């Protein structure tokens, strides 16, 4: 079974050689299409990040896969599980390494304005939010979801890593308790799917917070932080690019300091914020120069051409931002 392994700061392919993982996030659940895998391979990608969203307010109700009546599937709706099966099969057949993540906007935080009424409809949890720290029952259900998912996909070829809970950010919860949730999830997953690495990050996945969740005893962990370019309305400028380089340097320094692998699970800039593409050019150069793997957020997107995606729908057709695609896929090939 093709599997990745870790040695010091390196991710190794099944032959034991270092591998540089670069590709896309299939982040918008409803936008994953059967041809995506073959398109991504042709573009030079070798990794894809695939979500299951469980308990959160998303763009449409069907995206949330939580269904407490679905006891046979640990509370995951049958329709969403089928969709995930198809996406994973497609990526695996194309020999794309898969980062499988389960996202829970309620569980990770639950206090954002559009989440409060959804996560805490009866107003029981207040400023601390209805999440995996305030609700032990929900936490137990999430552990069961992960055990089910890990068991279901553990023998999938090209399964690269499990990402237990992205952008974790519980209000008022100290760092040791964030780390404790990761430890609990990873322990449960290891019991049913040993040998598959994990991807975790510090609070809000900020690069400066990785130390919060570092543990030298964890030999199967890859660390992450977001690398979005926060360009101003006039486009990428020296200040925003310097900030990007600083955060990339934090990842590199963390990797060297602890001799552990890092992988950027989300990197991107909105097209409207980088009309000259100065930003994306520099971002890709930074990733290549610093030998950083990444998944661009995101491949297909909504109908707005100004967002992060490189493919968007318009009048019933999919439109490719070819110039953006060229800049990003250039970095895929620099291995």
pLDDT digits (tens, 9 = 90+) for 48-89: 999 999 999 998 889 999 999 999 999 999 999 999 999 999
Per 3-state DSSP, the chain is made up of helix, strand and coil in percentages (nearest 5) of 40, 20, 40
CA atoms within 13 A on the CB side of 109: 16
Question: Taking each helix axis from N to C terminus, what angle separates 136-153 and 175-192, rounded to the nearest 10 degrees?
Answer: 40
Q: Is the pTM of this model over 0.85?
A: yes
Domains of the chain: 5-332 (3.20.20.80)
Instruction: Return the structure tokens found at 81.
Output: 């599980």
Per the model's pLDDT, the better-predicted residue between 27 and 327 turns out to be 327
Residue found under tokens 């486009």:
235
Phi, psi for residue 85 in degrees, rounded to 5: -55, -45
Mean pLDDT value across residues 230-241: 83
Give pLDDT tens digits for 30-42. 789 999 999 999 9
Q: Which residues contact 202 (CB under 8 A, 6 or more apart)?
A: 175, 178, 208, 209, 210, 211, 212, 213, 225
Residue-wise pLDDT for 94-129, tens only, equals 999 999 999 999 999 999 888 999 999 999 999 999
For the chain, give the mean pLDDT.
96
pLDDT band at 320 (very low <50, low <70, confident <90, very high): very high
**pLDDT value of residue 61:** 87
End-to-end CA distance of the chain: 24
Which tens digits make up the pLDDT trace of 134-161?
A: 999 999 999 999 999 999 999 999 999 9
Give residue 195's pLDDT: 97
Average pLDDT over residues 239-244: 94
């Amino acid at each position: 079974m093709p599997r990745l392994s870790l040695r010091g700061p390196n991710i190794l392919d099944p032959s034991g050689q270092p591998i540089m993982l670069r590709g896309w996030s299939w982040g918008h659940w409803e936008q994953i299409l059967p041809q995506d895998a073959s398109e991504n391979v042709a573009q030079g990608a070798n990794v894809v990040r695939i979500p299951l969203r469980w308990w959160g307010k998303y763009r449409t109700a069907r995206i949330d896969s939580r269904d407490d009546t679905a006891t046979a599937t640990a509370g995951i709706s049958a329709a969403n599980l089928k969709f995930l099966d198809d996406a994973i099969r497609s990526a695996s057949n194309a020999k794309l390494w898969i980062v499988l993540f389960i996202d829970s906007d309620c569980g990770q935080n639950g206090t954002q304005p559009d989440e409060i009424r959804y996560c805490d409809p009866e107003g029981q949890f207040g400023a601390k939010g209805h999440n995996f720290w305030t609700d032990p029952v929900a936490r137990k259900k999430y552990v069961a979801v992960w055990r089910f998912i890990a068991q279901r996909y553990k023998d999938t070829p090209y399964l690269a890593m499990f990402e237990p809970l992205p952008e974790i950010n519980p209000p008022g919860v100290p760092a040791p308790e964030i780390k404790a949730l990761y430890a609990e999830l990873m322990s449960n997953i290891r019991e049913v799917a040993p040998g598959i690495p994990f991807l975790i990050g510090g609070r809000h996945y900020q690069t400066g917070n990785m130390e919060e969740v570092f543990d030298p005893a964890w030999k199967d962990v890859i660390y992450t932080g977001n690398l979005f370019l926060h360009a101003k309305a006039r486009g990428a400028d020296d200040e925003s690019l310097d900030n990007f380089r600083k955060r990339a340097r934090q990842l590199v320094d963390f990797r060297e300091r602890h001799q552990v692998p890092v992988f950027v699970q989300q990197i991107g800039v909105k097209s409207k914020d980088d009309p000259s593409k100065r930003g994306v050019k520099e971002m890709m150069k930074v990733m290549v120069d610093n030998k950083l793997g990444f998944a661009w957020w995101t491949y297909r997107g909504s109908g707005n051409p100004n967002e992060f995606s490189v493919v968007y729908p318009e009048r019933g057709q999919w439109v490719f931002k070819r110039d953006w695609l060229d800049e990003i896929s250039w970095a895929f090939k620099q291995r």
